[in-house]
Structure 1
Amino acid sequence: MWRWWIIVIIVCIGWTIVGHTAAAQSGGGMTLYLPLVSKAPPLPPADEAGRRLQVAPGFAIRIFAENLPQRPRFMAFGPDGWLYVSLMNSGQIARLPDRNSDGRADTIEIVASDLNLPHGLEWRDGWLYVAEGDRIERLRDGDGNGSLETRELITDNIPAPVGHSSRTLHFGPDGKLYVSAGSSCNYCVEDDPRRAAILRFNPDGSIPGDNPFATDLDPRRRPVWAWGLRNSVDFLWTPGGELWADHNGSDGLGDDLPPEEIVIPVQGGAWHGWPYCYTPGVGVVSGPEVQDTRIALPAGQTCDQAVPARFTAPAHSAPLGMTLGEGTLFPPAYRQSLYVAYHGSWNTTAGNIRDCKVERILLNEVGQPIAAEPFVTGFRAPGKPCGDAATYGRPADVIFGPEGAMYISDDKGLRIYRVVPVP
């Protein structure tokens, strides 16, 4: 008799779940929230990275790919679900498939070559857009052989790779193509308006009519969207539609100045300080920028006119790739965060070494930065700067994959790491 009652109970529960699910999908009735049973993300056995690197409690890190043929920089997941990474110094793009879904790349496949310092990557409508040192191209597999052999030039209205040579691109929520280009110098007045700037194009490389200088007599000025950004290696849009960029400050003012600007609310048609001014203080900051006294302000210009950063880090931290934690498989507390790859210092004095790490910037309920804490550390040798030969790795980019895991590129150790939550 007891067996019959168990069967009845199971059937009733099953029909209740089905009924409530159907009601929720149809938009009517009550939504029943039930615990979900899902397969844990794959975690390969402990490896060198898992033993050496320290990650926040509740997470584990493993090597996803290693022995890359050149320095891996920026990453993007393709429509095929595989990870693509730029190998900047060799002019190549690599694909890192994980076809057996075990949390490690099966192989390293070079899918594009003969590019000029490829750095930023983004997929759009089946094309891989690549930011190179002096141009933007898009690539795709036209014949189905797995290589991205079809290439089209989008624009070469990009400054030549002098000084800061990395170029990063992202499509904005307005459908426009944004490109960051760093300065040619430590601090100077640039003669090319496209340097130390974020540029803005239509997807076909033409100039949007609402750009600040769309009709300027100098064609180099026409794509300029925002300027005074010495080296914004990465940028993104918040769920609220704000454009945030990071910014590497200049050298020559000692170990502590100027602070690295981690969250800059980029404004179209506005100046953001460099080379004359910078945001003072470390952490949450407010108030105007202050002058870098090594270079005189133009007549009539003041630091009050510059757009200041909202959050900063110690000088020489070298922020590179950045991403938001929204929509991942990370615990809810870790989703409301900005993650930044810090390349770390190479020229600070012994007592002021800046760590190479992935930093977590905590955001408040309205999405603004309020504090910072390390998320992945252990890349450098004790007492040694990140530029030292003994350094294990230096993070360059950080993104989330379609399954919700975090991926970190390491352009010193020639590896890609994968971070997943664990019980």
Structure 2
Amino acid sequence: IVGNLPANGDHPMHPFVIDGSGNIFMDVGSATNSCQIKSRVAGSPGHKLCTELQTRAGIWRYDANKTNQRFSPAERYAAGIRNAVGIAFDPGGQLYSTQHGRDQLYENWPKLYTSEQGQNLPAEELLRIEEGGDYGWPYCYFDGEQRKLVLAPEYGGDGGKALGDCARKKGPEAFFPAHWAPDALLFYSGSQFPTHYKNGAFIAFHGSWNRAPGPQQGYNLTFVPFAGGKQVEPGKYEIFADGYAGANKDPDRAAHRPAGLAQGLDGAVYITDDKGGRVWKVVYKGSPK
């Protein structure tokens, strides 16, 4: 369908969804962590003009009914999204994606951030995707404590005070703890679950690797209630299922890591695991209310 896709760097995979009109919306993740001149090197500034954005860190739109299309910057639908691994439509047809937040604020900028701030910044995000939208990467990151986009240290940021042009960028619809790694997104449209879950968003968190020296987190299935196409209570989410990692939450030693979501025709929810190789089927037993 589409050839010559970027396949190098930090985020070479290309999750996609297809809408009812035959448009394919595809993630093209960033090649780097924060578009530094020297990638992941402490103190290295960012490229003043991050040319990586021409072909990476966004969502592209193509015709799913055509073959032999070539990847092109001209087909970019939305920009400034570091890595939209989870991508889905809500029941009304609105496109959303998750965003894997950047790494190494403390490790690369220890004069600006404490180790605790490095563990807890930036927030992971659920984005409402609009055509032509710019969601801030690499110039901005979302500070969940302040609930706003702030200027990244590679571009003159001072540890969370300076905003630069970040107020003009699009922030998230919902946000979550840092480094949890939101790998899959599903808006529930079935009737098998109680009405509380109707139209809400399930997110599979793959689990963190970079919250040291604190314990790793994530490895769960989280739910965000929606009503009328919007989050019911900003900043709030529910842990729907947990314990996948087992006793050890180090990513190499975790028993299971949630990675994918699907909804069956019967309204059941399926959760895939790319560490232990399992698939869970979740059904509800009880009153639908």
Q: TM-score, normalised by structure 1?
A: 0.55
Give secondary structure in 1 for the equivalent of 2:54. Answer: coil
What is the identity, as a one-letter code, of the residue corresponding to 2:285? Answer: V
- CA distance in 1: counterparts of 2:127 and 2:93, whole angstroms: 14
Residue 221 (structure 1) aligned to one of 51, 73, 80? 73
Unaligned runs of 5+ in 1: 1-153, 208-217
Separation in 2 of the partners of 1:219 and 1:418?
A: 36
Cα distance between partner residues in 1 of 2:252 and 2:186: 27
1:372, distance to aligned residue in structure 2 (A): 0.8
Match of 1:378 in 2: 243
Out of 71, 87, 93, the position equivalent to 1:235 is 87
CA–CA distance in 2 between the matches of 1:182 and 1:413?
25
> 2: distance between equivalents of 1:305 and 1:206?
37
Question: Which residue identity lines up with residue 230 of structure 1 in the other structure?
Answer: R
Compute the displacement of 1:421 (Å): 1.1
Within 1, Cα distance between the matches of 2:67 and 2:58?
A: 17
CA drift of 1:237 comes to 1.9
* Number of positions where the alignment pairs a residue of Structure 1 with one of Structure 2: 251
Paired letter, 2:258: P
* Matched residue SS, 1:304: helix
1:258 aligns with 2:122: yes
Match of 1:193 among 34, 45, 54: 54
Counterpart AA for 1:183:
S
**Aligned equivalents of 1:175, 1:347: Cα separation in 2:** 38
Partner AA of 2:25 in structure 1: Y
The SS at the match of 1:222 is helix
Deviations 1:192-231 (A, max 9, x none): 6221110011121577xxxxxxxxxx97312211110000
CA distance 1:257–1:394, shift in 2 (3 Å): same
Normalised TM-score (structure 2): 0.79
* Corresponding residue SS for 1:413: coil
Equivalent position amino acid for 1:172 in 2: D
Task: Please give the root-mean-square deviation of Cα atoms over the aligned residues, in Å.
Answer: 2.4
Q: Match for 2:58: what amino acid?
A: A
Deviation for aligned residue 1:368: 2.2
Bigger Cα Rg: 1
**Counterpart among 231, 250, 267 of residue 368 in structure 1:** 231
Q: Give the aligned partner of residue 15 of structure 2.
A: 168
Which amino acid counterpart does residue 170 of structure 1 have in structure 2? V
Matches of 2:263 and 2:250 in 1, distance apart?
24
Q: How has the CA–CA distance of structure 1 residues 357 and 225 changed in structure 2, closer, same or farther, with 3 Å as cutoff?
A: same
How far is 1:365 from its partner?
Answer: 4.8
Contact residue 281 and residue 312 of structure 1 kept, 8 A: yes
Match of 2:130 among 255, 260, 267: 267
Is 2:207 aligned against 1:344? yes
Counterpart for residue 178 of structure 1 = 25
Q: Partner residue of 2:39?
A: none
Return structure 1 stretches of 4+ with deviation > 4 angstroms.
Answer: none
- Describe the SS at the equivalent of 1:289: strand
